[in-house]
Amino acid sequence: MAKQPDPARRSQRSRQAILTAARELITEMGYAKLSIEAIAARAGVGKQTIYRWWPSKGAVVLDAFLALSEAGPEQDMALPDTGDLEADLKVVMRATVAEFADPAFEAPIRALNTEIINDPALAAQYQEKLAGPVDEAKKERLRSAQRAGQLAAGADLDLALELLYAPLYQRWLLRSGPLTPQYADALVDAFLKAMGPDIDASTH
Amino acid sequence: MAKQPDPARRSQRSRQAILTAARELITEMGYAKLSIEAIAARAGVGKQTIYRWWPSKGAVVLDAFLALSEAGPEQDMALPDTGDLEADLKVVMRATVAEFADPAFEAPIRALNTEIINDPALAAQYQEKLAGPVDEAKKERLRSAQRAGQLAAGADLDLALELLYAPLYQRWLLRSGPLTPQYADALVDAFLKAMGPDIDASTH
């Protein structure tokens, strides 16, 4: 049989080119000026190719981020579990604070958040594809702490994650305060007081 | 002397008309479609009149909100203080949750937040003119609770306000969970555990 271009493989190549173009352009020009036209031109495809797979600019950007996280091994989502909840959370929160304070992450993450805030359908996609699995990995660590008696057995884990992460998210989003390692530690300390084992029920 | 139009009074009338037009239009068409042209047309002024006082659409919208809160008496910002911190905070947080869950507030508050998130200069203005004074009023209530021994004497009040409000803000912004009176109460309970008086130091 004659060699023919493989349509599935070509599709995959176009898809990758589009996602790479979206990531590059968002860093270069910011989200507001980013257009489907610019992504198509950079990726060397037609606009219709993009619209066949994605309904909006926001949807392309979300998938561009998802492709990044899919590149790493599945275990990357898991939180460290040395048996010491406080120490593990301080490592994680210090790293998270440093990431949010990094100018290289600033533009694309802020752009993605702006889209999610204003597009309920994209918010649902983000929740299902990215935030949901990440939160589930974090809850696994909290359940381990519950089994070890380091966290209240009846703690609401959705509320627990919000207490730990939402103050940092808000401070970053509104630029309302400094993002420092001390702040990360203070968040973990407050979290542990709020969600720690009840004193009567504790076996430690 | 002949009656002449008073320029200061005319300016004040134009200013009010512009802010009213901005509030009306944002509710009718949403923030994305709102333009300086549309505000000028509705207010019966020229575009240049608007640009003389405000550098951007976001700045007009922020002042439109500020004008609303200035209309009320100064004490409106103060939190209730019956002497019972838990009861007072549950009243406040249930009201705040209800406000965020109200569709009438939804569009303009989300629009304003989007602008603030993406415009550091506007974020600074918002912090100085609105968020700062409101936060100060809230801290007054927390200081009263510290004096009453209901809150840790050494508590970081910026972090305290974030713990109380940021989970609600994030849940509303990302539409990531239900906004209910039960949620308001759970937030207050977690806050009081995190920020309550140290057990050794408590005199109660």
Instruction: Give the separation between CA B126 and CA B119, rounded to whole angstroms.
Output: 10
From A70, A88, A103, the end of a domain falls on: A70
- CB proximity A120 to B under 8 Å: yes
Chain A nearest-CA distance from B74, in A, is: 24
**Residues A51 and A129 placed together within one structural domain of the fold:** no
Residue A59 belongs to some domain of the structure = yes
Query: How many whole angstroms separate alpha carbon A169 and alpha carbon A185?
Result: 15
pLDDT for res B161:
97
- A114/A94 same-domain check: yes
Question: How far is A164 from chain B, CA to nearest CA, in Å?
Answer: 8
Same domain, A137 and A59: no
Q: Tell me, what CATH number does B31's domain have?
A: 1.10.10.60
Q: Do B194 and A163 touch (CB under 8 A)?
A: yes
Between B72 and B21, where is the model more confident?
B21
Cα(B55)–Cα(B181) distance, integer angstroms: 40
Same domain, A187 and A93: yes
Q: Does A62 touch chain B (CB under 8 A)?
A: no
Q: Which of A150, A153, A162 is nearest to A193 (CA)?
A: A150
Q: Give residue A185's pLDDT.
A: 98
Same domain, B30 and B105: no
Q: What is the pLDDT of residue A73?
A: 46
The residue behind tokens 């440093």 is A98
Let me know whether A137 and A79 are in one domain: yes
CATH number of the CATH domain containing A147: 1.10.357.10
Position B42 in a domain: yes
Minimum-distance CB partner of B159 among A158, A190, A196: A190
Report the percent of chain B where pLDDT is more than 90: 54
0.90 surpassed by complex ipTM: no
Predicted confidence band at B203 (pLDDT cuts at 50, 70, 90)? very low
In chain A, the residue whose alpha carbon lies closest to the alpha carbon of B188 is A194
Range of the domain at B182: 73-195
pLDDT of residue A67: 78
pLDDT in tens, B120-175: 888 898 888 888 989 999 999 999 999 999 999 999 999 999 999 999 999 999 99
CB A145 within 8 A of CB A87: no
Domain annotation covers residue A1: no
Runs of H (alpha helix) within A127-180: 132-147, 157-173
Q: How many residues does chain A have?
A: 204
Cβ–Cβ < 8 Å for B51, B90? no
Q: Would residue A200 count as lying in a domain?
A: no
Q: Are residues B52 and B119 in the same domain?
A: no
Q: What's the CA gap between B35 and B63, in Å, rounded?
A: 15
Q: Same domain for A103 and A40?
A: no
> Is A202 inside a domain boundary?
no
**Inter-chain contact A174–B123, Cβ cutoff 8 Å?**
yes
pLDDT of amino acid A58: 84
Residue-level pLDDT, tens digit, chain A, 204 residues: 555 668 888 888 999 999 999 988 887 887 777 899 999 999 999 999 999 999 888 889 888 877 776 655 454 678 999 999 999 999 999 999 998 988 777 777 888 888 889 888 888 988 888 889 899 999 999 999 999 999 999 999 999 999 999 999 999 999 999 999 999 999 999 999 999 997 654 444
Q: What is the mean predicted confidence (pLDDT) over B39-66?
A: 90
Q: Residue B180: which region, alpha, beta or left (left: phi > 0; alpha: psi -120 to 50)?
A: beta
> Which residues in chain A have their CB less than 8 angstroms from residue B123's CB?
174-176
Last residue of one domain, picked from the residues A70, A92, A123:
A70
B 129-158 residues inside an 8 A Cβ radius of A: 131, 156, 158
Instruction: Return the exposure string of B172-182: e unless at least 16 CB atoms fall within 10 Å of the residue's CB, then b.
Output: bbbebbebeee
Given an 8 Å threshold on Cβ–Cβ distance, is A176 in contact with B131?
yes
Within an 8 Å CB–CB cutoff, is residue B13 touching chain A? no
Number of domains in chain A: 2
pLDDT number for residue A198: 75
- Interchain contact B35–A (C-beta under 8 A): no
Same structural domain, B12 and B53: yes
